[in-house]
């Protein structure tokens, strides 16, 4: 009888240990409310001086002109669909941003099947790799009111939290876009922003149907030129 009791105790103990181990494995697999979900283990990215270094998705180094200063990074889940990591390099005076670069790494979460698709034929080569590019204008307050939870809206809120604001409500921006995997589920965006204040134009003027639409390409070409002079893909 005594031997039987000992055997029963041993079996119960083994079952308890097995349950604890299985619970621990499940806890490791299941993210808590405070953890950020992502496609996989997040790639290591860092800034050294004015150079942004990414180890994966994609592996890349981007160096910015000495006029730009690194002021921080943030990461978040965008629209419950994609993991986003943003890095900010700004040229500012007294907390007023004159020009800025935002580098954004973005990838869809594993619980969806979305892909990135751009209808852009304008391309160029940076660091031996092809990027798509486009240029546009925007009125920041109007955009933020319409899309407060967008990646751009979150970027503006982040910079305000750091004590920075755009010098003008109207901006022009140049995007350099790269899809970094064959599945088209991860992308890199290098976005250059410049204030329109002082140029004599507003975003409304330079919109496709604006009163100064005939000046768009001239303005956009100058912006692209300044953007490309201000960074280098190594």
Residue 23, both tokens? 């619970």
- Rg (alpha carbons) of the chain, rounded to whole number: 24
Amino acid 42: pLDDT: 67
Per-residue pLDDT of the chain (234 residues; tens, 9 = 90+): 444 444 333 443 444 334 433 334 333 333 333 334 444 456 799 999 999 999 999 999 999 999 999 999 999 999 999 999 999 999 999 999 999 999 999 999 999 999 999 999 999 999 999 999 999 999 999 999 999 999 999 999 999 999 999 999 999 999 999 999 999 999 999 999 999 987 889 999 999 999 999 999 999 999 999 999 999 999
Q: Kindly compute the dihedral angle of the four CA atoms of residues 83, 118, 50, 107, in this order, to the nearest 10 degrees.
A: 20
Distances in Å between the Cα of 65 and the Cα atoms of 1, 3, 49, 81, 154 are 83, 79, 11, 33, 25
Distance CA 68, CA 154 (A): 21
Alpha-carbon distance of 186 to 121, in angstroms, equals: 19
């Amino acid at each position: 009888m005594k031997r039987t009791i000992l055997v029963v105790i041993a079996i119960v103990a083994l079952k308890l240990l097995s349950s604890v181990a299985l619970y621990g494995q499940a806890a490791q697999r299941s993210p808590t409310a405070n953890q950020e979900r992502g496609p996989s283990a997040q790639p290591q990215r860092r800034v050294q001086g004015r150079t942004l270094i990414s180890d994966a998705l994609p592996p890349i180094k981007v160096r910015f002109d000495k006029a730009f200063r690194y002021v921080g990074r943030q990461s978040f889940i965008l629209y419950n669909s994609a993991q986003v990591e943003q890095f900010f390099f700004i040229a500012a005076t007294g907390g007023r941003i004159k020009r800025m670069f935002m580098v954004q790494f973005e990838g869809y979460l594993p619980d969806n099947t979305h892909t990135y698709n751009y209808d852009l034929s304008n391309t160029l080569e940076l660091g031996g790799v092809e990027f798509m590019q486009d240029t546009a204008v925007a009125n920041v307050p109007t955009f933020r009111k319409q899309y407060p939870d967008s990646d751009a809206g979150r970027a503006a809120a982040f910079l305000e939290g750091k004590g920075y604001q755009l010098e003008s409500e109207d901006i022009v921006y140049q995007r350099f876009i790269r899809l970094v995997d064959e599945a088209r589920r991860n992308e890199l965006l290098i976005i250059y922003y410049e204030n329109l204040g002082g140029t004599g134009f507003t975003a409304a003027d330079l919109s496709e149907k604006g009163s100064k639409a005939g000046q768009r390409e001239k303005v956009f070409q100058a912006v692209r030129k300044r953007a490309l002079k201000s960074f280098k893909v190594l």
